[in-house]
Every structure is written in structure tokens, then in C-alpha cells.
Chains A and B, each alone.
Chain A
Amino acid sequence: MSSVADTHSQEHHHGPAKGISRWLLTTNHKDIGSMYLIFSFAMFLLGGSMAMVIRAELFQPGLQIVQPEFFNQMTTMHGLIMVFGAVMPAFVGLANWMLPLMIGAPDMALPRMNNWSFWLLPCAFLILVSTLFMEGGAPNFGWTFYAPLSTTYGPPSTTFFIFAIHIMGVSSIMGAINVIATILNMRAPGMKMMKMPLFVWTWLITAFLLIAVMPVLAGAVTMMLMDINFGTSFFDASGGGDPVLFQHVFWFFGHPEVYIMILPAFGAISHIVPAFSRKPLFGYASMVYAVGAIALLSFLVWAHHMFTVGIPLAGQLFFMYATLLIAVPTGVKVFNWVTTMFRGSLSFEAPMLFAVAFIILFTIGGFSGLMLAIAPADFQYHDTYFVVAHFHYVLVPGAIFGIFASAYFWLPKWTGHMYDETLAKTHFWLSFIGMNLAFFPMHFLGLAGMPRRIPDYALQFSDFNMVSSIGAFMFGVTQLLFLFIVVKCVRGGEKAAAKPWDGAEGLEWTVPSPAPYHTFSTPPEVK
């Protein structure tokens, strides 16, 4: 590999700058990827500690720890931080690190914009988190910020929240443009579209989704801004506006957003499962088509979040059928992963454990999604803990376990060291048990009739809430172990080979571990 030798010699001349300016001014995709990942983990801990406040209050009936106003701020900020601060930046971090390595490119296509799109994020979250200390408190209207609760009845800090969302949107759109430009222009010679690794495919599609829907979100919050500060009535019924319009616009963004948070994980899992099954991925082409189908359908199902708002029967039926249809390509993906494992030669290192848990638990989340799609039944499930259970089952073992699996899979490549396998397995099992203990009982609570977003509840919900809180504390504390494992791995450990996993495939394993500061200065040949 002459390209590797070249980059190795370059390293001595063009290594990273020293001190803080390395991080402030860097245009290196690996540095920026690391910063995204560190930022997202910090946000994960912050959003997680808010979840701990929520679960502590819900440990028993009655108000013990916080008042309802603050409880609502916690649920709102937990959702916003986890969605926009933890999950999305983590995937952008993985994209930054891995896309150039996977397609044999020296860096992202637009490195300066890359720097800018990262550094916008800490600014946006500084603004968002600072609302907690403002008079009247942080946003308290739920992460879905339905008008008019968030407009006419919102706290004074709402305008800051809107500004933060705008900045995050700019950051996401720039990140997405960068991903598309990189993938479409900088693939190594010979890497045709249908030869791209699946993580590249899923990110390409995710980036298009981002560009399509982030402006819609920006439009929604801009209308809110106008309603609050400039006397318009987009969402104010008393001025001729329409509160339901808000929900249509929000969910036109919100549903594709859900897939933005899961598609890159689909891609990563499609590398990890074959690697530890020592067998090629089953149905590569159908995987690509399934992701495309899911992305297209995601624009046609938004009103399934709104079955109870009183949309007409015809609309109700359309959105029910379209939503049911999504189960088909999603099923194809699950079947493909399982068939990849079938008759393989399986081993269960930490990335594989997280990947297998991903498939099982994400499928359970998919099942409850299928149940929610049945519109008449949704009248009973809607806005109860059943929904909370559903989306935590797709997001925690889906997005978050997908990220953990990816992190363990590629940590040797990033750091040059193997992580501590025993600790990583402990991390997995504690997370797995804690997560199920926290979220499975929520199905029962919702079916028994407990609404979501309430700080206190009727006595028949006491027992499962206590179980759920214990599970949540367990899951929360366990994540500190992950921090420890990563720090330990960065600082030292067994030296990692260029390809530490015998079943792994792809260009990223052709460069040494740790990956040199500059890689693929001359593109590799893909046959």
C-alpha cells in the first residue's frame, strides 16, 4: 500500500498543530470526528442526568424532589439534548472519522465548513442550557414544543430556545452537505455506488433527509418566533391561526428525523454483524433499497403522530396504511441481519454483543411501532407510557447501542489500542439489563393507562414505576464505565493490528492503527 507509506512520511511534516489551536482551527476529519464524539458523549451524560431527575421524581407517587414546573423543564431538555446533542452529533462524529477512511478519501470534501459546523454546536447548546438559569426557567413544553403551549404560553426563554434550534439546524445542514459532497466526489477509483460500504450508503441517504427536513424545522420555529415577538398568528386560533398546522409542520420534520437517528446505526450494524459472523452481509442490494424505501416513506407518514387531533377519516386511513408499509423494508433489514448470522462462525466481542442486542431490542421497538400504527388502537396508546416505551426501545438500543457498537468496533482504529474486553462486556450486560428494566415496564404502564409527561401518578402505577426507576439508575451509572473504558483505551493497552477483527472488511482496515493523521493522500484502487 504505497498510499499508506506516503501518508506516514507526511505525518512528520504536517502533524497536528500544538495546543488549543489544534482543536479550534483544525480542518482534519479525524480531529473533528473526535470532537463531535466527545461533545456528544458530554451531552449524553447531561441529558442522562436530567433523565435521572425525572426517574427519581417518578420513583414514588406524590411530589418529592421537584415541582411540576421544573419536571416539565427536565422532560423537555432531556429530549432536546438527547436528540440534537447526543445522538445526531455522535453519528456526525462517526461519519467524519469513518467516511473518508471507508471510501479512500484524504479528508472530507469541505474541511473548513466541517470545522465551522462542529463549533456551532457548543454555541447552540450553551444557549439552550443557559435557559435553565433564566427567569421563568427553561423550555417546559416538551421536546415537540406544540403551539400554543410553546408560543402564547411559553416561558420568556423560548426565544433563546428558537435561536439555539436555528444554529443546530445550520450546523446539521452544513454537515449533511459535506457528507454528500464527500461521498459523491471523493470515492476511490473503482468504488461504484453499489460497491460502497453500507455505512456510507446509510449516511448518504441520511444526509439527504437532513437537508430536506431541517429547513422545515427552521420554518416552524421561525413562525413561532414571529408569533411570540412580532404579533403574527400562525398558530394562534384567536388571531385566525391554526394550532394543528404547527403539528403538521413539526412532524413533517419529526418523522424523517426519527430515521435520521437510526439509519446510520443500520449502516454500522451491517458492518459489525458480518465481521463477527465471518460471513458476507446477506442481501447487500436489498439492504440499500430498503434504506431508500424507508427514507422515501418517512415523508408520507407524519400524521400518525396526530391520530387524535381530529384529521378526517380519509387522512386517518392514508396515514395508517402508509405507516404499516414501513414495516416491510424494516423487516427486510432485520431478516437480512439474522440470515447473515445464520450458519456463520460467530464470536461475541463487545461490538457484536451490542449489535445483537440492537437487532433484538430494535425489533421489539418496531413491533410496538406496528401496534401504534393501527389507528384505532393508537387512540388508546397515544400519549401514554406505551409510546415512551416504544421510542426508547428504538432510540436506546437502536441509536445508542448502535453508537456503542460502532465505538467499540472502531476504537482500535482510532486509538491504536485494544479496549479492555472484560470491562466492555460488563458495560454491555449492565446496560442491557438496566435498559430493559427501565423501559420494558413502561409498556405495561401505558397499557394500564398512565399518560406521559406527568410528574405524579395514580397509585396503581406505583410498582412498575419503581422498577423502571431502578433500571434507569442502573443504566445511567453504567455509562460512566464507558467513559472509563474509552479513557483507558486512549491512554494505553494492547497494541491493535491494522485489522484487529479477523472477519472485518473495508478500506479502513488497510491503514495502520491508530490511523495516521493523514490517510489516503493518493487514493487506493478498489477492484
Chain B
Amino acid sequence: MRVHAKRAVALAAGLLSPAVVMADWTMNMAPGVTGTSNQIFSLHMTILWICVAIGVVVFGVMFWSIFAHRKSQGAKPANFHENTVVEILWTIIPLAILVAMAVPATATLVEMYDTSESEVDIKVTGYQWRWRYEYINDDFGYFSSLSTPREQIENRQAKGENYLLEVDNPLVIPVGKKVRFLLTANDVIHSWWVPEFGVKKDAIPGFINETWTRVDEPGIYRGQCTELCGKDHGFMPVVVEAVPEEEYNAWVAEQRAAAETERQLTEKDWTLDELMERGEKAYASACASCHQPDGTGMPPAFPALKGSQIATEDMAAHIDIVVNGKSGTAMQAFGGQLSEVDLAAVITYERNAWGNNTGEMVTPKEIFDYKNQE
């Protein structure tokens, strides 16, 4: 009973809090923090006011007719039905307005397309349903996944301030530098959007798209995937942390060192318990959204792992499907996405969790050898 009561309170709090605490009636686009986003904002406001002006004139004439020319008030209809001068005028004037509008739009577009002379290059890859950021000049990269707890989404817990707009590892960029993004995707089409930068570009499998930004103000900027990419499309936010240059350099050095340590872990001798512990985390971030945290999956698209033949019997097939994926299905090739340690840990975890008690383990070294024999 008590548990239920607690849940009810949490649920009620979760349901009511957004309306009470977060009352937010934002109606317009934000100007943003980059040159591009400011230019877009001014284009947006210009065209908006042009529309309002045309609207006032057109609807003005209409409403005047509605009030002044009513049959019930004895209005007698006129009989005109053509006027060449007027008709030419209202073709030419809109045309002129459009040309006037196209000029600044063209200038902004040309600038948005100029990705030359970048100082930092970051490869952004869309996955179902997270982002991977690779600092291609510095030889490290990582995944960035939603960090909002499941309990908040399912209304069992009050929602946090950055509900659905928070990630485990944000993208970090230096302020004041031209950062170029190279976008692609691993599975379906995604779209990478940070409204305050004025940057939105599709990440398409088999293509590399380019875009860029220069952020002058340090801060945390949030956006989302904007191209429908499957079930968890609404749950793959983009979070970018813009930091001063020294801080950025220190962070890069730290990441490079961590990447080196990670590579050395492949050589270490792992025990089953260590792999299970690491595997649980890796499973939660890479596998659980489809195969579910309890391994029951969502058949037929996402088969159960609990008690499945591959996860309990044929070890070679298990390694193969995790490393290479299964073409024609949603099962991705994780060989390039996860480190050898994580691959070994995930496979070991899947073979021993949820009652799949095979007692078998596979080591990072074995995975390394498997990948290199191919």
C-alpha cells in the first residue's frame, strides 16, 4: 500500500509540476548565440513583419467588406469583375517584395555554406538512438546518449529541469573558434540541430554533410534530433558545451589520455565478474533500448536475448552478430562502435544475465583476435 501511495504522490507531482513550475509561453524563435543564428533571426523577423503587413491590408479590405457590404443592411452589389491595372499591380508588387527578400536570404545562405578554414573538425555520427562525436584531429571519440532516467519518462518520478534534453557525455567545443561538423549516420537518417547555433543538418548513411559554427559565449546549448529515426527519435538530444580555449585544451588532453588507457585495457586479464559489471553498463547504453533492460526484447523487430539460442549456445554466432550485425534487420554492427573491452563485456553479460547462466566468458583479447582475423 505504502509503495503505491508513494508512487501516486510522485505521479501526481510529475503530472502537475510542468504546468505549475515550468509555465513557459515562449512564442518566438530565440536569436541564438552565433552570427548565423542572428542573421536567421533577423530574416525570420523581416519576413514575419512583411506577412503581417500584407495580412493587415488584405484582411482589412475583407473585414471592411464584411461589415460594410452586408445584404442584411441593404447593401446593393456592384457589378465590376475585371480591372487590368489592379491585376497587374498586385502581380508586380508581391514580386518586388519577394526579390527584396531573396537578396539577404541569399547572402546568409552563401555564408552558411562556407565551411572553409575551420579550426576544429568534429565528425558527428547518428545512431539509433544516440550521437557519436569523433574529434578527428585528436584521435578520440565517444557516444552521447540521453541521461534522463526511465522513471521520469514513465511518470514515476518528478521530471528534472532539463527533462529529455540532457546527455551523459555532451559535445565539448571551444568558444571563438570555427568548428566544422562532418555529419553522417550509421543506420537511418538523423538530423543534428542546435537551435541557438542556427545549425541543422541531416546525418545520412553513405553521405558526409558539412556545416559549421562559431560560438562566442560559453555555455550549455541543447537541441534534438529532428528527422524521424524510429522508435526513440524523441529521445536522442544534442547537448553542446562551449568552453574557453584553455579549458577545452585541458579537456582534450584528458580525453586523449583516457582513450589510451582504454586501449590498454584490452591487454588486461579480465575476470567474469569484472566483465559482468562492465557489461551491464555497456548493455544499458548500447543494447537495452531495443532488447530491453531485462533481455526480453520486443519481438518481432527486436528478438529476446533471454533464453535465446544465440545467447545461450552458439558462442561464435553470438560474437559474429554483435560485431558484424545482421544485414536487413535493425541489428547494427557494433564492431566499430564499441571497444574490444565493451564488446567482450556485453557478450559475456548477455550470456550470463537474466538466467542465461552459461558461465562462459569471452575476453577482450579474443574479440581483438576475432576482429583481426577477418
Q: Which residues of A contact B (CB under 8 A)?
A: 60-64, 68-69, 72, 135-136, 140-142, 146, 148-149, 152-153, 155-156, 237-238, 241-244, 277-286, 308-310, 313, 316-317, 320-321, 324-325, 327-328, 331-332, 334-335, 338-347, 356, 359-360, 363-364, 367, 370-371, 374-377, 379-380, 382-384, 444, 447-449, 451-464, 466
**CB–CB A346/B66 < 8 A:** yes
Pairs A–B under 8 Å by Cβ, sample size 26? A68-B232, A141-B228, A237-B206, A279-B81, A280-B81, A282-B80, A308-B200, A324-B102, A328-B91, A331-B90, A332-B90, A335-B58, A341-B62, A343-B65, A343-B80, A346-B70, A347-B72, A371-B44, A377-B47, A379-B40, A382-B226, A444-B26, A448-B27, A458-B162, A459-B18, A462-B18
Partner of A382, one of B27, B48, B200: B200
Partner of B298, one of A69, A313, A342: A69
Q: Given A149-B189, A345-B76: A62 and B152 within 8 A (CB)? A: yes
Neighbouring A residues of B90 by C-beta, 8 Å: 331-332, 335
A305 CB to closest chain B CB, in angstroms? 12
Partner of B44, one of A72, A277, A380: A380
A-B contact count (CB 8 A): 303
Q: Given A62-B154, A279-B78, A451-B226: A308 and B191 within 8 A (CB)? A: yes
**CB–CB B71/A347 < 8 A:** yes
Neighbouring A residues of B54 by C-beta, 8 Å: 367
**CB–CB B102/A320 < 8 A:** yes
Neighbouring B residues of A374 by C-beta, 8 Å: 43-44, 47, 101, 105
**CB–CB A456/B164 < 8 A:** yes
- Inter-chain CA distance A280–B80, complex, in Å, is 8
Neighbouring B residues of A331 by C-beta, 8 Å: 90-91, 94
- Inter-chain CA distance A448–B23, complex, in Å, is 14
Name A450's closest neighbour in chain B (CB-CB): B224
- Inter-chain CA distance A149–B221, complex, in Å, is 28
Neighbouring A residues of B82 by C-beta, 8 Å: 282-285
B127 CB to closest chain A CB, in angstroms? 12
B75 near A: Cβ within 8 Å? yes
B118 near A: Cβ within 8 Å? no
**CB–CB B14/A341 < 8 A:** no
A166 CB to closest chain B CB, in angstroms? 22
**CB–CB B29/A447 < 8 A:** yes
Contacting A at CB under 8 A, from B60-96, are 61-62, 64-66, 69-72, 75-82, 86-87, 90-91, 94-95
**CB–CB A367/B18 < 8 A:** no
Size of B's binding interface in residues, CB under 8 A: 108
Neighbouring A residues of B227 by C-beta, 8 Å: 146, 383
**CB–CB B205/A243 < 8 A:** yes
B179 near A: Cβ within 8 Å? no
**CB–CB A282/B81 < 8 A:** yes
Partner of A284, one of B21, B29, B81, B164: B81
Partner of B23, one of A60, A332, A377, A463: A463
**CB–CB B62/A338 < 8 A:** yes
**CB–CB B204/A244 < 8 A:** yes
Name A312's closest neighbour in chain B (CB-CB): B113
B195 near A: Cβ within 8 Å? yes
Neighbouring A residues of B98 by C-beta, 8 Å: 324-325, 327-328
B155 CB to closest chain A CB, in angstroms? 4
**CB–CB A384/B226 < 8 A:** yes
Contacting A at CB under 8 A, from B124-168, are 128, 152-155, 159, 161-165
Q: Which residues of B contact A (CB under 8 A)?
A: 14-15, 18-19, 21-30, 36-37, 39-40, 43-44, 47-48, 51, 54-55, 58-59, 61-62, 64-66, 69-72, 75-82, 86-87, 90-91, 94-95, 98, 101-102, 105-106, 108-110, 112-113, 128, 152-155, 159, 161-165, 187-189, 191, 193, 195, 198-202, 204-207, 209-210, 223-235, 298, 300-301, 327-330
**CB–CB A444/B300 < 8 A:** no
B113 CB to closest chain A CB, in angstroms? 5
- Inter-chain CA distance A332–B47, complex, in Å, is 19
**CB–CB A347/B70 < 8 A:** yes
- Inter-chain CA distance A459–B224, complex, in Å, is 14
Q: Given A149-B188, A155-B301, A280-B81: A459 and B22 within 8 A (CB)? A: yes
Neighbouring A residues of B204 by C-beta, 8 Å: 237, 243-244, 309-310
- Inter-chain CA distance A462–B29, complex, in Å, is 17
- Inter-chain CA distance A448–B94, complex, in Å, is 29
**CB–CB B77/A460 < 8 A:** no
Q: Given A364-B55, A377-B40, A454-B233: A332 and B87 within 8 A (CB)? A: yes
Partner of A341, one of B69, B91, B200, B207: B69
Partner of B51, one of A321, A325, A339, A367: A367
**CB–CB B163/A61 < 8 A:** yes
- Inter-chain CA distance A410–B69, complex, in Å, is 25
Name A243's closest neighbour in chain B (CB-CB): B204
Partner of A345, one of B15, B77, B101, B105: B77
In addition to A149-B188, A149-B189, A152-B328, 17 A-B residue pairs with Cβ atoms within 8 Å of each other are A140-B231, A152-B188, A237-B204, A310-B204, A327-B94, A344-B78, A363-B59, A371-B44, A379-B198, A380-B195, A384-B226, A448-B26, A449-B223, A454-B233, A456-B234, A461-B24, A462-B19
Name B166's closest neighbour in chain A (CB-CB): A458
List the 4 shortest-distance A-B pairs measured between CB atoms, nearest first: A237-B206, A454-B234, A367-B51, A310-B209
**CB–CB A379/B112 < 8 A:** yes
Q: Given A243-B204, A320-B105, A379-B199: A346 and B95 within 8 A (CB)? A: no
Q: Given A278-B77, A356-B66, A451-B224: A342 and B105 within 8 A (CB)? A: no
- Inter-chain CA distance A467–B152, complex, in Å, is 23
**CB–CB A342/B55 < 8 A:** no
- Inter-chain CA distance A463–B233, complex, in Å, is 22
**CB–CB A60/B25 < 8 A:** no
**CB–CB A136/B300 < 8 A:** yes
Most buried by B among A64, A343, A459: A459
Neighbouring B residues of A345 by C-beta, 8 Å: 69-71, 75-77
Partner of A60, one of B15, B153, B209: B15
**CB–CB A281/B187 < 8 A:** no
Neighbouring B residues of A153 by C-beta, 8 Å: 128, 187-188, 230, 330
**CB–CB B231/A447 < 8 A:** no
Neighbouring B residues of A371 by C-beta, 8 Å: 44, 47-48, 51
**CB–CB A310/B201 < 8 A:** yes
- Inter-chain CA distance A511–B90, complex, in Å, is 39
**CB–CB A149/B230 < 8 A:** yes
Neighbouring B residues of A156 by C-beta, 8 Å: 300
B90 CB to closest chain A CB, in angstroms? 5
Partner of A148, one of B18, B28, B187: B187
**CB–CB B153/A277 < 8 A:** no
- Inter-chain CA distance A430–B44, complex, in Å, is 32
B248 CB to closest chain A CB, in angstroms? 26
**CB–CB B29/A343 < 8 A:** no
Name A228's closest neighbour in chain B (CB-CB): B328
